[in-house]
């Protein structure tokens, strides 16, 4: 079971989405078409495809912020695997608030459920192996907390939340620092006792140099093919965590996991994932 994020973290995002959608004049369509906006109506959030749910609280808040009288009753929980046609929640209350909050709520719910669904599919593909599926910092600005939450809802784990989480020395850091050894040595000298150091390498020669420093906690094995990954894991020999990354897809993730790495990180889980098809259906 995944622990939900507190409303105080979610409400600003939903509020901003509603303000953007309402613009300068409010919901022109609903105001014009619905004679009595206070008329109580009943609608259902329903899955239009199989998937894993994430973001129900975002949907709830989109209606609550439009009208506190709207009742949102969930029939599923974040992290649940559902089938096409499943009822996710019942929404009851004034028509105007439901219609005006619908799109923002669906946008968040569909996007986050798409992330959770894609993550769950990858987790299943590597289940026989020790590798964990994780995301990256390639998130949409302002949405990192909820996108990473959606990864957890799908059974994945989270990489760094920000630059202040850990030290990750990448190719440009190495180039600007004058090499792997000086970069890693300076990082270890500057790191606090709780700060881990990860080093990105794309060749076995770089990996060997990083191992010789004795200062690296995690090796990011970038764009390596399975055979090279297997050799890299052998060289590390359990002295550090191994993470495979770069160009990994559902078609290749199992072969990567078979190489014996500890983590598989995928940026596309949060920046280009396909949304899950979810709709709001009026109930007469």
Asked whether residue 1 is assigned to any structural domain, the reply reads no
Q: Is residue 200 part of a domain?
A: yes
Q: Is residue 80 part of a domain?
A: yes
Same domain, 265 and 192: yes
**What CATH number is given to the structural domain containing 239?**
3.20.20.70
Mark whether 278 and 265 lie in a shared domain.
no
Answer yes or no: do 52 and 161 share one domain.
no
| DSSP helix/strand/coil, 32 | helix
**Residues whose CB falls within 8 Å of the CB of residue 24, separated by 6 or more in sequence, listed in order:** none
Residues 240-255: tens digit of each pLDDT: 999 999 999 999 999 9
SS3 57: helix
Asked if residue 261 lies in contact with residue 233, where contact means CB atoms within 8 angstroms, the answer is yes
At residue 41 the predicted structure's pLDDT band, cuts being 50, 70 and 90, is: very high
Identify whether residues 109 and 224 lie together within a single domain.
no
> Which residues does the annotation mark as catalytic?
103, 138, 170, 200, 222
Would you give the DSSP letter of residue 45?
E
Number of domains in the chain: 2
Kindly state whether residue 148 falls inside one of the protein's structural domains. Answer: yes
Residues 279 and 264 in one domain: no
Instruction: Please tell me whether residues 21 and 152 are part of one structural domain.
Output: no
Q: Per-residue pLDDT averaged across 16-29, rounded?
A: 97
Judgement on whether residues 129 and 266 belong to the same structural domain of the protein: yes
The string of DSSP letters for 109-135 reads HHHHHHHHHHHHHHHHHTTTSSPEEE-
Domain region containing 50: 7-116+274-283
Residues 83 and 205 in one domain: no
What CATH number should be reported for the domain holding residue 57?
3.90.1170.20
Closest CA to 96 of 45, 46, 29: 29
Q: Residue 2 falls within a domain, yes or no?
A: no
Tell me: pLDDT of 1 over 80: no
Comparing CA positions, the residue from 189, 137, 186, 182 lying closest to residue 164 is 137
Residue 39 has pLDDT above 90, yes or no: no
For residues 243 and 106, membership in a common domain is answered with no
Q: Is the Cβ–Cβ distance between 245 and 221 less than 8 Å? A: yes
Q: Are residues 104 and 185 in the same domain?
A: no
Look at residue 248 and tell me if it is in a domain.
Answer: yes
Nearest CA-CA partner of 270 in 163, 155, 147: 147
Which strands make up the sheet holding 241-245, listed edge to edge?
132-134, 263-265, 241-245, 218-222, 197-201, 167-169
The residues facing 281 across adjacent strands are: 44
Stretch 38-53: mean pLDDT: 96
Which whole number is the average pLDDT over 70-77? 98
CA gap 256, 219 in Å, rounded:
15
With respect to residue 109, please indicate whether it lies within any of the assigned structural domains: yes
The answer to whether residue 240 sits within a structural domain is yes
pLDDT by residue (tens digit) across 189-220? 999 999 999 999 999 999 999 999 999 999 99
Measured between alpha carbons, how far is 117 from 275 in angstroms, rounded to an integer? 9
Q: For residue range 75-117, what is the model confidence (pLDDT) as tens digits?
A: 999 999 999 999 999 999 999 999 999 999 999 999 999 999 9
Same-domain status, 147 and 201: yes
Identify whether residues 64 and 20 lie together within a single domain.
yes
**Segment 136-149, tens digit of pLDDT:** 999 999 999 999 99
Q: What are phi and psi of 283, to 5 degrees?
A: -110, 115
């Amino acid at each position: 079971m995944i622990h939900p994020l507190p409303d105080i973290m979610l409400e600003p995002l939903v509020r901003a989405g509603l303000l953007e959608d309402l613009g300068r004049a409010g919901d022109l369509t609903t105001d014009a078409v619905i004679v009595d906006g206070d008329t109580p109506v009943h609608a259902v959030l329903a899955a239009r495809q199989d998937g894993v749910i994430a973001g129900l609280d975002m949907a709830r808040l989109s209606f609550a912020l439009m009208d506190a009288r709207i009742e949102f009753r969930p029939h599923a929980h974040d992290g649940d695997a559902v089938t096409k046609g499943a009822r996710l929640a019942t929404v009851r209350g004034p028509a105007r608030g439901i219609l005006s909050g619908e799109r923002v709520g669906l946008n968040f719910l569909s996007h986050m459920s798409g992330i959770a669904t894609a993550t769950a599919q990858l987790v299943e593909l590597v289940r026989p192996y020790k590798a964990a599926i994780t995301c990256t910092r390639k998130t949409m600005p302002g949405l990192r907390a909820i996108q990473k939450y959606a990864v957890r809802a799908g059974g994945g784990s989270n990489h760094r939340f920000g630059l202040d989480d850990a030290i990750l020395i990448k190719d440009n850091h190495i180039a600007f620092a004058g090499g792997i050894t000086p970069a890693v040595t300076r990082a270890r000298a500057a790191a606090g006792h709780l700060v881990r150091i990860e080093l990105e390498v794309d060749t076995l020669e770089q990996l060997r140099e990083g191992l010789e420093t004795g200062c690296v906690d995690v090796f990011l094995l970038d764009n390596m093919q399975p055979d090279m990954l297997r050799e890299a894991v052998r060289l590390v020999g359990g002295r550090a965590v191994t993470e495979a990354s770069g160009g990994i897809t559902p078609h290749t993730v199992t072969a990567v996991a078979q190489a014996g790495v500890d983590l598989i990180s995928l940026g596309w889980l949060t920046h280009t994932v396909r949304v899950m098809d979810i709709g709001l259906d009026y109930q007469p």
